[in-house]
Amino acid sequence: MKVLQINTVCGSGSVGKITVDIYETLRELGEEAVILYGRNQAPRETKGAQKIGSKPDFYAHALLGVLFGKGGFGSKKYTQQMIEVIKKEKPDMIHLHNIHGFYLQIEILFEFLKRAGIPVIWTFHDCWPFTGHCAYFDYAGCDKWQTGCKGCPNHKKTYPYSIRDYAKKSFLRKSKAFLGVENLTIVTPSHWLEDLVKKSFLQEYPTCVIPNGIDLEKFNPQVLEAEVKKEKDPRKIYGIGEKYMILGVANVWEERKGMEYFVKLNELLSREKAGEFNHDNTVIVLVGVSIKQKKSLPSSMIGIERTKGVRELAALYGTADVYVNATLEDNFPTTNLEALACATPVITFATGGSTESIDESCGIVTGKKDEYGLLESLIQMKHQPKTRENCLKKGQEYDRKKRFLEYINLYRKVVE
């Protein structure tokens, strides 16, 4: 069986890593695997990855999106090239991931899929496929995606930004393009997103839930032990010492990731209401901040632009006393899984599918946009700590080898 995956990037970002993990799982099982992607570069070891796109085309497509709301409707030339590669590869299955990101023309691609008769699996990593504009709409509290996206309140504020409101037109073009594929199955990583799909114009397609998985060889408690032995203890490197360490991680700290709530929580640490937590014994560490964001953080917080690699990130997870996910919009964040796999408990806002990997044995769910709730959860966790053993056990449920076998079984079922 040959499976061809399509995604914006290959090997970077959470979805790019998932794409490569599925690729590696297929090859380990002796199956053929190909990845087509539009931006950046793939890891050297991913020999079955082919880039379809260019920087000039990306910028031209993005400009079409900003000026005319045509995100997803540019890159015609490279979409045709992609189709030619698909014809040459002759896959038994096409697995779509993120098809937004200014690298292909969705109408051309789906017209081909309707003619080709190749089974299609489409994993939704956000809500973009069934809205006229947004990848997420929780933060804005918008439900216009259920009625045609007329009068978008977010087109200037959220990706894929546009100076005028073209959401209704885009919604109509998407619905016409995406409907009518004979053999298409939608996969969501969370039950939360599956419920939304069933309320959208895509409800005619069968859906199933396959949670994201992570590489337990890269994320585990032993990484920290090994790094400490190599004198790469994160607590020494970043001057954390014996302080109670609150960790936050994001690929990009955009507004929906909730950085402001870490800052607000940091302010609470200087007040009496914080109880035993204060700046002398507690520190908040944020990974993935930009240079500008790092400079703007209070001096009592630690900002890390990028880790030197996966091992350093795993060591930071492992040495943290708690991982906090203050996300305001999310599907099924892999950072929760990575923290748990490194035996670290999680506190998360009750947002989207972020709660679905957390139970009372390994973490706490608190009210969305509530910094006082975060503080109360920290106090509760300090007095009633979650055992590292329970966190590790929960994290091991998301072994990518087990989770992505569910994709392989789905491929075989659909192809047969």
Query: What does 86-141 look like in DSSP terms, one character per residue?
Result: HHHH--SEEEE----SSS-BHHHHHHHHHHH---EEEE-SSSGGGSSS-S--TTTT
Query: What DSSP element (H or E) covers 214?
Result: none
pTM of the complete model beyond 0.85: yes
Of the pLDDT bands very low, low, confident and very high (cuts 50, 70, 90), residue 308 is confident
Q: What would the mean pLDDT of 171-188 be, rounded to a whole number?
A: 97
Q: Which CATH class is domain 2-213+400-415?
A: alpha beta
Among 113-117, 123-127, 254-258, 374-378, the minimum mean pLDDT is found in 254-258
pLDDT at 138: 82
Find the distance separating the first CA and the last CA of the chain, reported in whole Å: 11
Tell me what pLDDT residue 273 has.
62
Q: Which of 194, 190, 189 is nearest to 206 (CA)?
A: 194
Least reliable range by pLDDT among 9-13, 36-40, 127-131, 137-141: 137-141
Q: Is there a contact between 23 and 407 (Cβ–Cβ < 8 Å)?
A: no
Q: What is the pLDDT of residue 274?
A: 62
Q: What count of residues does the chain have?
A: 416
Q: Is the pLDDT of residue 405 over 70?
A: yes
Tell the residue number behind the tokens 């009592």, with chain if given.
300
Identify the pLDDT of residue 272.
62
What confidence tier does 255 reach under pLDDT thresholds 50, 70, 90?
Answer: confident
Which of 327, 340, 314 has its CA nearest to residue 253?
327
pLDDT score at 45? 84
If pLDDT is split at 50, 70 and 90, which confidence band does 184 have? very high
Residue 174 reports pLDDT greater than 80: yes
The arithmetic mean of pLDDT across residues 275-293, rounded, is 92
pLDDT(352) > 70: yes
Q: What is the pLDDT of residue 50?
A: 95
Q: Is 90 exceeded by the pLDDT of residue 251?
A: no
Q: Does residue 242 register a pLDDT over 80?
A: yes
Spatial distance between the Cα atoms of 335 and 354, rounded to a whole number of angstroms: 10
Q: For the chain, where do the domains classified as CATH 3.40.50.2000 start and end? A: 2-213+400-415, 221-398
- CATH for the stretch 221-398: 3.40.50.2000
**What is the model's pLDDT at position 44?**
84
Q: Cα–Cα distance between 144 and 285 in angstroms, integer?
A: 37
Mean local confidence (pLDDT), 374-399: 94
Number of CB atoms found within 10 A of residue 274's CB: 17
pLDDT of 129 above 70: yes
Which band of pLDDT confidence, cut at 50, 70 and 90, is reported for residue 139? confident
CA distance 407 to 37: 20
For residue 9, name the pLDDT band (cuts at 50, 70, 90): very high
CA distances from 166 to 94, 108, 134, 170, 330 (A): 30, 20, 11, 6, 24
